[in-house]
Structure 1
Amino acid sequence: MRRLLAVGVWLVLGLVFAQFKSEYKLSVVVGPNTPWGMGAQRFAELVGEKTGGKVNIKVYYAGQLFAGQQTNEFQLLRTGVADFAIGSTINWSPQVKELNLFNLPFFFPTYKDLDAVEEGQAGRAIFQRLRQLGAEPLAWGENGYRQLTNSKRPIRTPEDLQGLKIRVVGAPIFIDTFRALGANPTSMNWAEVLTALQQGVIEGQENPIVGVIIPYKLWELGQRHLTLWNYVIDPLIFAASAQTWRTFPPEVQKAIQEAALEAARYQKALARAGMDDGTSLRYLASLGVKVEITDPLAYLRSQGVQVTIPTPLELGRFRDRVTGVVQRWANEIGGTLVVMAEADKKRAR
């Protein structure tokens, strides 16, 4: 009987080992020269190290797996076409309405507010919802606060935005927000944006400074006016397909989880480098990571970008214009989740 039991155990172990694929696909929207892309590469490396080479992840940059349709990424993850993804909550929000919490304009005024929600009851509720939908969330990363750039003029008030053709990602709340502000929003996948800016099809766009504006040198495409308004922040989620996750034995799951947390901390620090109170730069220095641009705003000014920083009163005017958007979308997201998030923020203050 013992011999039969031992044989059975080895058969099970053999089946488990046989489940490892030669390659696991990781989807990323942007290129490798961004904090987002660098975090993806670090995650892949750490997973390889911590699993003893059993899980070999290949990073598919620039939307290769979803052919440029970035809002389709979550569908690829939940169906197992992508084994892993480091996805923007914006891109996944059309399929996961709760993620529109992070798209509410001016809802997260500080990094402290965001961290409190991610680590609090609202963040846990969102992760549970992702599990229900076929993904296994592993860690929170970040793309950064989204700032506005354009080729026409400084934007300091809603009136300055009137009629400007602004590219937004394909999540309906962004169309609603920019229409409320008087702009002419155009939904467009990132793969098309650089050409559209160069050809003047669109006049402006909104994206993080460290994560997108600097790596893609948008000022070379005419985007020489930047408004620092922190109107929306863009968390990332390190996640596995539930289909893939179930094939891993517990010790491998544990190793991948550890890799995700470590890579996410590194990635988030890259995204915030020079934009927070110095915490991220100090952390990266402790890892021996050299950051070339330690003052992103000064760097942009050196490239001829005019940086406009609205006063609190001027920001209040933007917030007033989108009050209706916040109310409508809070109902769509779910009042309970919004209340949780407000409570998380309050506890952090």
Structure 2
Amino acid sequence: MTMRVSKLAAAFTAALGLTLATPSLAQETREFSVSTVLSDAFPWGQAATKWAELVNERSEGRLTLKVYPNAQLVSGDQTREFSAMRSGLIDMAVASTINWSPQVPELNLFSLPFLMPDEAAIDAITQGDTGERIFAAIDRKGIMPLAWGENGFRELSNSKQQIDGPEDLKGLKVRVVGSPLFLDTFNTLGANPTQMSWADAQPALTTGAIDGQENPLSVFDVARVDQVGQKHLTLWHYMADPLIFGVNKRVWKSLPAEDQQLLRQAAIDAGAWEIEKSRRELADTLSAIKARGVEVTELTPEQHQAFVDATAEVYEKWAPRIGTELVEQAKAAIAAR
């Protein structure tokens, strides 16, 4: 009898302990690092800030995302972000497809010149089967992708002359990001591309060591690129850079299912908010740039096609590296948009 009572007491104590421990576990607070290249002065940084706000609000402060802008978690070298995140030095990121493309070749799809003529084309890729296939490729590399954001179309500026045809780029010294595909594109157009960080690019533009650069309009505007001699801007829409909300795989697996869903939905909502805001503000951004005396060139359909034709050989080289089937699937999605 005594043994039975002891067993019941032990069982009751264990059950009571479990009951007391459960709410304590549910209320555990956790903080995660979030890497982003640009601060919240730019749409890119605003996407990360919005994600952090939504997660904090929906978890009632239990989950905190601490945003580290300017790629400071990798000492400013944004091309190291993916590797640092995969190794666990970074928990999460709102990242550029360009910066992650060396580790995930499929992301070079977005850097193919003149693949996406408009925003509907971007959506056709990211919001369809092609986007799911790209997310699967990122997943296989050790990062859990959650949602898409947008850094916008990258436009071309320079200090020398108006550019409305491929021949105008001959010999032009252009700063580009650290991607071999970018080098191939500009070399094919006859330019002299130079890879360098944005921190190095600004003084190089000021001194005339380089003639031009390519960036989204939001970056041109907020960074006041017109103040470093960039008085000619061509809206050529040669490539767009979607953003990716991602989480380190080990961090992701450590979270209960309800927190995974909270993080994912907050990322989806933050991405949708940032995409809508960025697109809505484009007209005002362009007006502000023009008001500062920048000469803006908008290509005719014929001028645009000349650039498409001039970069056709880049596709021949890069489609097999990206995945010919993936490239064709993206083209079909764009054609059907």
Query: Contact between 1:16 and 1:248, CA under 8 Å: does it hold in 2?
Result: no
Alignment match of 1:234 (pick from 216, 238, 241): 241
1:166 aligns with 174
How far apart, CA to CA, are the structure 2 residues paired with 1:76 and 1:214? 30
Q: Does 1:253 align with 2:275?
A: no
Q: Does 1:132 align with 2:140?
A: yes
Alignment match of 1:218 (pick from 205, 218, 225): 225
Alignment match of 1:262 (pick from 266, 269, 277): 269
Alignment match of 2:328 (pick from 329, 339, 344): 339
Q: Structure 2 length as normaliser, TM-score?
A: 0.92
2:316 aligns with 327
Residue 69 of structure 1: how far off its partner (Å): 1.1
1:229-263 CA distance string (max 9 Å, x none): 10101100011111211111111111111111111
Alignment match of 2:192 (pick from 162, 181, 184): 184
1:41 aligns with 49
Residue 32 of structure 1: how far off its partner (Å): 2.0
Residue 9 of structure 1: how far off its partner (Å): 7.2
5+ unaligned residues in a row in structure 2: which ranges?
1-7
Q: Does 1:59 align with 2:46?
A: no
How far apart, CA to CA, are the structure 1 residues paired with 2:250 and 2:279? 33
Residue 76 of structure 1: how far off its partner (Å): 1.4
How far apart, CA to CA, are the structure 2 residues paired with 1:10 and 1:189? 53
Query: Contact between 1:51 and 1:256, CA under 8 Å: does it hold in 2?
Result: no
Query: Contact between 2:153 and 2:238, CA under 8 Å: does it hold in 1?
Result: yes
Query: Contact between 1:25 and 1:59, CA under 8 Å: does it hold in 2?
Result: yes
Over the matched positions of the two proteins, sequence identity in percent amounts to 43
**Structure 1 residues 263-302: aligned runs within 5 Å:** 263-275=270-282, 294-302=283-291
**In structure 2, what residue type is equivalent to 1:320?**
D
2:106 aligns with 98
Number of aligned positions between the proteins: 327
Residue 302 of structure 1: how far off its partner (Å): 0.8
1:281-308 CA distance string (max 9 Å, x none): xxxxxxxxxxxxx522222111010001
**Structure 1 residues 193-204: aligned runs within 5 Å:** 193-204=201-212
Q: Structure 1 length as normaliser, TM-score?
A: 0.89
How far apart, CA to CA, are the structure 2 residues paired with 1:270 and 1:146? 17
How far apart, CA to CA, are the structure 2 residues paired with 1:135 and 1:190? 26
How far apart, CA to CA, are the structure 1 residues paired with 2:122 and 2:214? 19
1:24 aligns with 32
**Superposition RMSD in Å:** 1.8
Query: Contact between 2:115 and 2:331, CA under 8 Å: does it hold in 1?
Result: no
1:280 aligns with none
**In structure 2, what residue type is equivalent to 1:132?**
R
1:206 aligns with 214
How far apart, CA to CA, are the structure 2 residues paired with 1:53 and 1:62? 25
**In structure 1, what residue type is equivalent to 2:80?**
N
Residue 340 of structure 1: how far off its partner (Å): 1.9
Q: Does 1:305 align with 2:312?
A: no
How far apart, CA to CA, are the structure 1 residues paired with 2:128 and 2:226? 38
**In structure 2, what residue type is equivalent to 1:48?**
N
5+ unaligned residues in a row in structure 1: which ranges?
276-293
1:281 aligns with none
1:76-118 CA distance string (max 9 Å, x none): 1211211110001011101110000000000011111110111
How far apart, CA to CA, are the structure 2 residues paired with 1:332 and 1:317? 25
Query: Contact between 1:36 and 1:271, CA under 8 Å: does it hold in 2?
Result: no
Larger-gyration structure (1/2): 2
How far apart, CA to CA, are the structure 2 residues paired with 1:10 and 1:201? 67
How far apart, CA to CA, are the structure 1 residues paired with 2:290 and 2:281? 14
Query: Contact between 1:169 and 1:188, CA under 8 Å: does it hold in 2?
Result: yes
How far apart, CA to CA, are the structure 1 residues paired with 2:210 and 2:172? 8
**In structure 2, what residue type is equivalent to 1:72?**
R
Query: Contact between 1:156 and 1:310, CA under 8 Å: does it hold in 2?
Result: yes
